[in-house]
Structure formats: structure tokens, C-alpha cells
Amino acid sequence: MISNPYAPPLASVRDIAERHALNDPAERGTRLAAAILDAIIFGAMVYAPFFAAMFGRAATAEPGTDNVDAMLVVAGGLTLVGFVVWCWLTISRMRANGQSIAKKFLDIKVVRTDGSPVSLGRLIGLRNIVNTLLGFIPLYGIIDTLFIFGESRRCLHDKLADTIVVKA
């Protein structure tokens, strides 16, 4: 059989990120808004149920009874449920496309500097856990944040994790 020199190649080709996306980093204000919105979402899902249960139970408690243990159990249970739901939503979004809940709303995402998708381990491990541990060093948080004003718009934790936040 004679092979056709004009036939399309038979190799499988993996899609890669478009190069122009790497040249279009997310705006500084959008990244700040995403961080603030993520904190609000976390607080609403984790802390709000705790305080609602504590204050709601205290308001309905009969005078003269001290039922603190029951309040703590209910509040702790609601907090745990809220935290589990928040973890599930956040991790599923991060695994799917490198976005937190707020990044999805604001249409930005995290990718590797070569444009490839970022792994969940890199997102959670390097961008969050290592960054949190480094936050115990005095002034690290300020230095990390000030790196955003560089030309590449990458914070120090982005450089550590070899990632960039781009428009989705």
C-alpha cells in the first residue's frame, strides 16, 4: 500500500493553552477582589453558621438555664458541615480548571507559566500551604503582596509555585 504524503498526521496531539493567554495576566484589582470575595465566601459558609447557632440558641434559651455545651455542639456541627461543603466546592473547582469559587465568578484562573494546567497539589501545596507557613515570617505577607506590582503581576507565592493568574 502506498502512503499518501498529503494525508493528515496520525499522531495524537494534546491541546495546550493558547500563548496569548499568558501574555494577558489578570488585573491586580481583579486578583484583590477575588481574594476578598473568597474570604467572604469562606466566612459565610464556615463562620456564619457558627455564630448563627450560638446567637440563635442563646436567644431562645430559657432564662436561668446554662446550656453552653449544647450550643457548642450545634455550632461546631454546623461549622464542620460548612467547612466540608466549602472544601468540596473549592477543591472541585480547583481540580477542574485552576479556579477558586471567586476566581470562577471573576473569570480568572491559575495556570503554569508554560500555559499548561496547574495540578491540584501545586495549587494547594505550594500556593496555599507553603505560603501560609511562610506567612509566620515577619513581613513576608507584605513582601508577597508587593510582588504583584512587578511587570509580570505575579506575587511571590506565584513565583514559588511557578504559576501565573490569567484571564480565563
- Whether 120 is covered by a domain: the verdict is yes
Q: How many domains does the chain have?
A: 1
Written as nine digits, the cell of 63 is 432564662
- Whether 31 is covered by a domain: the verdict is yes
pLDDT (0 to 100) of residue 20: 47
- Whether 35 is covered by a domain: the verdict is yes
Cα separation, 131 vs 164, in Å, equals: 15
Q: Is the pLDDT of residue 143 over 60?
A: yes
Residue range(s) defining the domain that contains residue 37 = 25-167
- Whether 11 is covered by a domain: the verdict is no
Residues 6+ away with beta carbon under 8 Å from 144:
131, 134, 135, 155, 156, 157
The string of pLDDT tens digits covering residues 60-86 is: 666 555 666 777 888 889 999 999 999
Cα separation, 101 vs 91, in Å, equals: 9
Residues 6+ away with beta carbon under 8 Å from 120:
91, 94, 95
- Whether 7 is covered by a domain: the verdict is no
pLDDT (0 to 100) of residue 13: 63
Can you say how many angstroms the Cα of residue 92 is from the centroid of all Cα atoms in its chain? Answer: 10
Cα separation, 52 vs 135, in Å, equals: 30
